Structure 1
Amino acid sequence: MSIHAVSPLFVGRARELSVLGDALARARAGMPSTVLVGGEAGVGKTRLVGEFIDRADDAMVLVGGCLELGTEGLPFAPFTAVLRGLVRQLGRDGVAALVPGGDARGLARLLPEFGEPDRGGPEARARLFELVLGLLERLAEERAAVLVVEDAHWADRSTRDLLSFLVRYQRTAGRLLIVVTYRTDELHRTHPLRPMLAELGRVEWVSRADLRRLTRREAVAQAASILEREPSPADMDLIYARSEGNPLFVEALLSEAGGGDALPESLRDLLLASVERLPEETQELLRVASAGGQRIEHDLLSAVAGLDESSLSRALRPAVAGNVLVVDGEGYSFRHALIREALHEDLLPGEHTRLHTRYAEALERDLSILPAPRGAIELAHHWHSAHDSTWALVSAWHAAGEARKSTAYDEQLGMLSRVLELWDQVPDAAERIGCDRLDVLKQIATVAHLAGEYERSIALASAALAELDQQADPIRTAVVLRQRGLTRYDLGRPGYLDDLRRAAELVPADPPSKLRAQVLETLSRMLHGPEDWPEKIATGEQAREIAREVGDANVEAHALIDLTWARFGYSEVEAQMAAFAEARAVAAGGDAYNALMRCSISESDALEGAGWHERAAQVARDGVEEAAHYGLARTSGTFLAINLAEPLVSLGRWDEALQVIEHALDLTPPAPYRASLQGYATDIALARGQLDRAEQSLGMSRSVLSRGTYRDQTVLPHLCREVRLLQARGQMEEAVRAADRALAEQDLVSSPRYAWPVLVTFARLLVAVVPPAQRSGPAQSGPGVGSAQAPGALAQFALSLSPRLRALGQELSVVGDLQQAQRLTFSALTGPESPIADAAELVAWQVKAWDLAAGAWAALRQPYEEARSLVGVAQAALAAGDRQEAATRLTRARELAGQLGATPLLEQIDVFGRRARIGGSDESAGEGQPLGLTARELEVLREVASGRSNREIAEALFISVKTVSVHVSNILAKLGAATRGEAAATAHRLRLFDAP
């Protein structure tokens, strides 16, 4: 009988195969599915995946593995392997045809067959990720596709980032299953894969399959399959005790023991036992191969070994037959990485250095043996492992350049850091690489920024600036200052304007240069305050003129956008749009897609700020499609989704807005974008009375905003939502205190567009808290004015905010129809600027004020704000004795609120109509009790809202505690409230117990 090296029988993995099979079934049904397969070395992850693939029927299977090179992995290695396999299968043109938009140049960052990569920059990496996902989406359209990424414990940061991106955005990829394997015994506490696995584990469609060791019964079945006979109990006892159920060790022990009693003394001996039985020339070749990594190309192995084809084949054949090596495409892989590791660790120091030197020399002679960027990075690895400082530095410099082409910024940062580490060991380092140490520092600072290492970028830039002589070397100083200014701005750190202004001073105006145009445009873009407008315009104009002169369309377009924001307000919409159109034309002419995206973002934002909601929505919608064309759907596209959701919310198209928000969130955008999207979902939930949903959305936004520094356009709407939610829950004191903190901490004067909604929100809060009797001057009317339940201390505290609010309202500028509508609403809520002693005159003023606000909102086509203002008109008209006018306005308000599903506003309208005995054309409709409550239930609810217990209510109303309990249950059911506190909040919100 023969002895198989690998068990023909696949044992002990039925459950794991079922997990993978179920995941593939979900993928076939169009549901996203990812399986993370973990297990210790030798436990059978590769065998499991292989068996699963054999059962995958007609699914397209794409396999790529991560490669280990010493301490660093190879950028995008599994995806390069997948792409190369697709090119072999479909041809270059066939793969290019599957790329969204038909432009496959971005794939050149992974495979040189696709030509030269397109323009680099921060967006290039995002676009590459989009292209890979888009390609997988297209492949999965006709049949299910399975992407297998093996050995993720060796994944570099770029590979981890892309893999995480694909899993998180998998919902859009159709019938795609992603399978990731990794060694659990490699994941030490600080291993970089650990946080990624934890993050992916929270994604709903990600499942895990952790491979355990075999039971004794399973190990016996494996051994019997290998030996083609049942092993003796004594042999099996010894083998199982030694292997502890690890399938690889069971195989190795069976092969080594051969039925005898001799066993290796260590695991290393166990792993090398199968090698030591091979011919000496094969063992020598395996030692050579071990220095080349887990996978080695045939041509490279031949060059390093120095063997002709015949000798190489003769030496390789026993290794393949003995299952130490397996054929892998155009090269070979060790059957198990542990075997390679044991061989490599067994090399003597002299052998280690000599072999790595031979690999480096072979790659120096012909780097095309390996595809870019792998060749350059492996070359750097081998010179470093050979301890040759000079060539390690030079090759690391070139490898950094190759990593940059692939947008592998983390790997580029690692290579440049190695250059810096080796600098003092190479006396002529500057001559070797063609630049000095300061240039290296400057590049590392830039790459650290691109890699998201902001703190390190600032530290490196500061170190470079400390060594630079600003007078002797102004150009390089300006470059580093610009980089530090950009990074400080991204971190919300002070000093970024000082850096940019100093950089602008250092770059000479003559001759014109791209650098001066870039510095000036960056400075112009970062100047946000109205007091900075003159400087913003002056620097923007200079940047534009220089960019035009030197032929930099990207900078010219950005400068035009900066100037447009500075020159035109929300009352000059057409002129503003014409200026943005000019910037768009320049960007399109220069294929500057980043500037094109900024044009769409700026246009839609400006239109919405002016109250031109329909046009804003259309521009944003077109921009989302344009972003998808450029491969930026999940970056620029999701930002434009924010600009689409905002006008849809304004227009009252709330269900459509929620669809846009849900789709954008499915793409898992960057955290700040996600917070903004969830903010608009919060607005809708609050308006519809869905307080738990509002709390959930607001909590997600809150967690994002707590981790960074953000501008007014993000912070101020969030403050409004916090206050509105507290008010809706009846937590009036907390709401007032939150408003007080905001007034003390925020500069509201500099951002009228975002400050006016804050003032209106706070004014509504004070109207709800302070009853007429507690105000100075004549009683004033407004929506829901008067809250007799408000505690005296809270009312006094709220009153103390009123002068500050009024002062802000007088100081804040008004530009455009939208801000005018907000100012009119604020005025109606806070009352006339000068006291009106005569009650009739005051009421007439209130009717007119609310009527103007309602008309302004109607002209802007904002139904929710129009309905709220109409309620104000109705209340003021009723106070003036005009019941017919009050009924007409209330009917229209009810119609608008009903169309929106604005339940709290509908309830407020219903309560007011019933109390005032008006409402639509049937004034008798209000004669019943509010919300279907009986008179006794209203009495009980009043006591509940006052915070009394069932026993206290029973004593006050002279009924039994049991009867109170029944009434409370009925009240909760009728109000749809889960708790007494929620019922009390509803009563306060609807002002059920205000004086008629």
Structure 2
Amino acid sequence: MSIHAVSPRFVGRARELAILGDALAGARAGASSAVLVGGEAGVGKTRLIKEFTDRADDALVLVGGCLELGTEGLPFAPFTAVLRGLVRELGRDGVAALVPGGTTRGLARLLPEFGEPDGDGPEARARLFEQVLGLLERLAEERPVLLIVEDAHWADRSTRDLLSFLVRYQPTAAGLLIVVTYRTDELHRTHPLRPLLAELGRVERVRRVELRRLTRKEAVAQAAGILEREPSPADMDLIYARSEGNPLFVEALLSDGGGVALPESLRDLLLASVERLPAETQELLRVASAGGQRIEHDLLSAVAGLDENALSSALRPAVAGNVLTVDGEGYCFRHALIREALHDDLLPGEHTRLHTRFAEALERDLSILPAPRGAIELAHHWHSAHDSTWALVSAWQAAGVARRSTAYDEQLGMLSRVLELWDQVPDASERIGCDRIDVLRNTATVAHLAGEYERAIALASAALAEIDRDADPIRAAKLLRQRGLTRYDLGRPGFLDDLREAAALVASDKPTTLRAQVLETLSRMLHGREALSERLTTGRLAMEIAHELGDHRVEAHALIDLAWARFGFSEIEAQMEAFAQARRIAGGDEAFNVLMRCAISESDALEGAGRHERAAQVARDGIEEARQYGLARTSGAFLAINLAEPLVSLGRWDEALEVIERALDLAPPAPTQASLQGFVVDIALARGELDRAERLLGTSRSVLSRGTFRDQTVLPLLCREVRMRQARGELEAAVEVAVQAMEERDLLETPRYCWPVLVTIADLLGSVVPQQGRAATGTDTPLAKLGAALLTRLRALGRELEVDGDLQRAHHLTFTALTGPEPDDGAAGPFEVWDRAAEAWAALRQPYAEARCLVGAAQAALADGDRQEAAARLGRARELATRLGATPLLEQLDAFGRRARIGGAEEAADGLPLGLTARELEVLREVADGRSNREIAEALFISAKTVSVHVSNILAKLGVATRGEAAATAYRLRLFDAPG
């Protein structure tokens, strides 16, 4: 009776197979999705995928696996395998024809057949990502595409980043299905795949599936398929107890006639299947185990020292026994645990000798493996062979290869290894042609590119501690510039000190590129009124040096710096012409970073000038330009901020939310995410979605608390904090935020972002400081006194703050309407001021701000006795608020209409809002001031019991459950504002 190594019956996975089948059916219908398949080692992920792909019919199946090489991994390994398979099937030219834009230089980072890779840097990496996605999209136009990435628990950072990009950014209307498998038992608490799985699991079109162990009934069915008979209950009890339902363990136990005599450990079980093979096959498998999970035929032949016949003869039993499987031009262990068990079973001497032989074979002919895999595997083997000298040299070389592949994390790992081995190799500098300081500087630069900002600062600081700045000013300046850039990105102080010192070190009568770069970087990072003169001087000098040297990129960057420094928002056309000149100077398509910075600057300046439509269009064009350059995740995501902001201003809130969602799907850096989510908070607050707003506000707060950021990032967050507390009725907390802001921030520094802060605080104080016509009750509360003092300081700030451009003028008018004219000011009355503010916002096409000012105008008109004008303003405000879905504003308008008996609102019988009696409104005011029932009773000369009855009635009429909610509702609806 024959015994199958693997059960011919596929058992226990009907649900998982159905999920995959449904996803593929969706792809056939043009709906892209992804399925993440997890499970412990041996649970049957590979078998599930094989069964699924066998039933894929017309789909194009692309399979790539992640490789284990110690702890380094191999950058983009699964995608290299997929691309190699496509080239075998379609030919190089056939694949090239499918790449959008007609250029394949990005794909050259994966396969040398596509030529020489283009320039290094984050733009090149992003371009590679876009080209891979574009290739998959083109393939999916012809038939459904099934992309399978196996063993993602071994994925390197670069592979994880590309995989995340493809899953998040795959078009919903494309026939692409991505399936990812990974070992759950490998995912320890700090495993880097864990957060990625959690993030992808929240994407709507992603489904997570975890394979469980087999039940006893399913294990019996599996065993019957292997044995071609039903196992005895006693044998099955033992097998199931030992295997615990793991299909691989069941197979291993059954392969020796029931498994009773096998050792209990997994290693022994796995090695038992190897030990049944011929001795020469076992020896060859031990050799192969040092080569990794997948090994090329030619490399194995070179290391084993066998000719073709001997090698094939020795391998055949391993393939027949399902220990090895054929994979293209090489071999894979059927299960990684088999390779691990073999490798761990090597004696120390064997371990060193085998890795040395692999390293020597690769040294003789690195072309055995495709780049960059060869260099990285070479470094892995020399390190595993404990040869410090060649481990250092090969790690340095592998770092260079990883750099060309934009695999920054792998490059960082290799450079870190060079530093670790440095003291063990006496002639390290001569070996690699670079001293330790330069290695530290290169590692700091790569750490910055890889997002390891803290490490980059530490490395640059370590190099600066070793360098004599007087004797070696050029390298010191480079290190200071690098540390300054990283400190700036991290929001850490000291970046200006670094850049100023770097500028002093490169000061010379002879112009150099480094001097131009340092000066331009310094000019770019100088902000504030007191730094204006220095910024202009530094920027002009950088531009002159760059122009003299013919460095168009630095010259264009400097011109952008000067445009920001020279022109205000009232001079927007001159500023736009300067940006256009920077574009012309930068030149062609190779100046990606300059062109993207121009798009960012242009859209930002237009928005600051109140040219919202133009700002949105420039940002939208920039996003498309970024996509074409392969920069959708970097510059494109940042430009989404500059598109969302004008869309929010224009009241196109749903469109803004779509833009933000698409940008967040790209997984941009945390500060970019925080800025994008800030606009979602603005919309949520305006629509009364307070829980959502508070959740997102907490996320932004957490991100921005990790560094020191500029006003454009911090001040909008401050406004949101105040508005959030105000919407919750937490007036004391809101005032505390306002006080802290006025004490800790210079609210005269950046008028564009300071005016919204002043307006927000002024609006808050309207709910805190008693107004004329209000009853005297509550005017002596600590909060009211604090608010009055704050209002005085706020008015003083408003008198000093510059007004530059139409947008700031609208804010200034609103601020004046909120705070009231100065006592000796003979300006127009409240109605005219409010009306002018509303007209200013209408001219800017900002409907929400216009509607809020129209409320103030309506109240002022009613106070003047002009009910007709009040009704007109109220009607227009309601029209705008309805269109925006601004529920809290609509509630306020309705309450005001009922209270004033205008605008068609129904009025309660006693003429007060929401059916409240005059006494209940008095009690509610006291409740909102935070007084207890006893304190209210004393203030209003009634009993505490009567107060309790009034409070119960108030809660019922307002439809709330607590006193705090009642206060919040009263302030939101402005129930205490005098109607006339």
TM, length-normalised to structure 2: 0.92
Change (3 A) 1:667 1:444: closer
Structure 1 residue 72: deviation in Å? 2.2
Change (3 A) 1:544 1:362: same
**Distance between the aligned counterparts of 1:607 and 1:581, measured in 2?**
13
**Matching residue of 1:726:** 725
Instruction: Say if 2:823 is the partner of 1:824.
Output: no
**Matching residue of 2:18:** 18
**Matching residue of 2:75:** 75
SS at match of 1:73: coil
Change (3 A) 1:224 1:729: closer
Residues 769 and 786, structure 1, Cα contact 8 Å, conserved in 2: no
Instruction: Say if 2:837 is the partner of 1:853.
Output: yes
**Distance between the aligned counterparts of 2:265 and 2:897, measured in 1?**
88
Letter of the aligned partner of 2:10 in structure 1? F
Residues 30 and 174, structure 1, Cα contact 8 Å, conserved in 2: yes
Instruction: Say if 2:269 is the partner of 1:270.
Output: yes
Instruction: Say if 2:109 is the partner of 1:98.
Output: no
**Matching residue of 1:796:** 785
Q: Deviations over 1:937-978 (max 9, x none)?
A: 78767656654999999x989999999979965653xxxx68
**Matching residue of 2:800:** 811
Alignment of 1:241-252 (within 5 A): 241-252=241-252
**Distance between the aligned counterparts of 2:207 and 2:836, measured in 1?**
58
Structure 1 residue 979: deviation in Å? 6.8
Change (3 A) 1:644 1:203: closer
**Distance between the aligned counterparts of 1:490 and 1:960, measured in 2?**
56
SS at match of 2:570: coil
**Distance between the aligned counterparts of 2:402 and 2:226, measured in 1?**
45
Alignment of 1:537-936 (within 5 A): 537-589=536-588, 591-773=590-772, 792-835=781-824, 844-919=828-903, 935=915
**Matching residue of 1:992:** 975
Letter of the aligned partner of 1:635 in structure 2? T
SS at match of 2:569: coil
Alignment of 1:51-450 (within 5 A): 51-170=51-170, 172=172, 174-257=174-257, 262-264=261-263, 267-450=266-449
Residues 554 and 590, structure 1, Cα contact 8 Å, conserved in 2: no
Residues 651 and 861, structure 1, Cα contact 8 Å, conserved in 2: yes
**Distance between the aligned counterparts of 1:199 and 1:892, measured in 2?**
43
Answer with 164-173 or 293-302: which moved more: 164-173
Letter of the aligned partner of 1:146 in structure 2? L
Change (3 A) 1:37 1:572: same
SS at match of 2:395: helix
**Distance between the aligned counterparts of 1:890 and 1:255, measured in 2?**
84
Letter of the aligned partner of 1:102 in structure 2? G
Letter of the aligned partner of 1:7 in structure 2? S
Structure 1 residue 752: deviation in Å? 0.8
Structure 1 residue 203: deviation in Å? 4.0
SS at match of 2:37: strand
Q: Deviations over 1:30-73 (max 9, x none)?
A: 55543333333222221122112222332322211111112321
Structure 1 residue 94: deviation in Å? 3.2
Change (3 A) 1:626 1:938: farther
Change (3 A) 1:889 1:352: closer
Structure 1 residue 590: deviation in Å? 5.7
**Distance between the aligned counterparts of 1:648 and 1:263, measured in 2?**
69
Letter of the aligned partner of 2:697 in structure 1? L
Residues 933 and 971, structure 1, Cα contact 8 Å, conserved in 2: no
Instruction: Say if 2:476 is the partner of 1:492.
Output: no
Change (3 A) 1:89 1:548: farther
Instruction: Say if 2:519 is the partner of 1:530.
Output: no
Q: Deviations over 1:102-123 (max 9, x none)?
A: 3332222222222222222233
Residues 727 and 968, structure 2, Cα contact 8 Å, conserved in 1: yes
Residues 914 and 930, structure 1, Cα contact 8 Å, conserved in 2: no
Residues 787 and 994, structure 1, Cα contact 8 Å, conserved in 2: no
Letter of the aligned partner of 1:273 in structure 2? A
Instruction: Say if 2:33 is the partner of 1:50.
Output: no
Answer with 591-600 or 703-712: which moved more: 703-712
Change (3 A) 1:931 1:104: farther
Q: Deviations over 1:703-727 (max 9, x none)?
A: 4333443221121112112212322
Change (3 A) 1:241 1:635: same
Answer with 537-546 or 658-667: which moved more: 658-667
Q: Deviations over 1:55-107 (max 9, x none)?
A: 23323222111111123211121121122222222333333343343333222
SS at match of 2:527: coil
SS at match of 1:611: coil
Residues 285 and 315, structure 1, Cα contact 8 Å, conserved in 2: yes
Answer with 933-942 or 730-739: which moved more: 933-942
Q: Deviations over 1:635-661 (max 9, x none)?
A: 322222221222222223333333333
Letter of the aligned partner of 1:758 in structure 2? V
Structure 1 residue 800: deviation in Å? 1.0
SS at match of 2:208: strand
Structure 1 residue 475: deviation in Å? 1.1
Q: Deviations over 1:736-786 (max 9, x none)?
A: 22211211122211111100111111112212322235xxxxx8xxxxx89
SS at match of 1:769: coil
Letter of the aligned partner of 2:797 in structure 1? L
Residues 570 and 816, structure 1, Cα contact 8 Å, conserved in 2: yes
Structure 1 residue 981: deviation in Å? 4.8
Structure 1 residue 819: deviation in Å? 1.2
Residues 788 and 994, structure 1, Cα contact 8 Å, conserved in 2: no
Answer with 449-458 or 849-858: which moved more: 849-858
Change (3 A) 1:502 1:684: same
Alignment of 1:474-485 (within 5 A): 474-485=473-484
Q: Which runs of 5+ in 1 are unaligned?
A: 774-778, 780-784
CA RMSD of aligned residues (A): 3.2
Q: Deviations over 1:810-844 (max 9, x none)?
A: 221121121122122222322233436xxxx78x5
Change (3 A) 1:430 1:967: closer
Answer with 609-618 or 599-608: which moved more: 609-618
Change (3 A) 1:230 1:498: same
SS at match of 2:10: coil
Change (3 A) 1:509 1:988: same
**Distance between the aligned counterparts of 2:557 and 2:609, measured in 1?**
22
TM, length-normalised to structure 1: 0.90
Structure 1 residue 906: deviation in Å? 4.0
**Distance between the aligned counterparts of 1:507 and 1:133, measured in 2?**
43
Residues 457 and 484, structure 1, Cα contact 8 Å, conserved in 2: yes
Letter of the aligned partner of 2:188 in structure 1? H
Change (3 A) 1:230 1:613: closer
Letter of the aligned partner of 2:559 in structure 1? L
Residues 910 and 917, structure 2, Cα contact 8 Å, conserved in 1: no
Structure 1 residue 327: deviation in Å? 0.6
**Distance between the aligned counterparts of 2:612 and 2:23, measured in 1?**
44
Change (3 A) 1:464 1:701: closer
Letter of the aligned partner of 1:291 in structure 2? A
Structure 1 residue 877: deviation in Å? 4.0
Change (3 A) 1:223 1:914: closer
**Distance between the aligned counterparts of 1:699 and 1:260, measured in 2?**
56
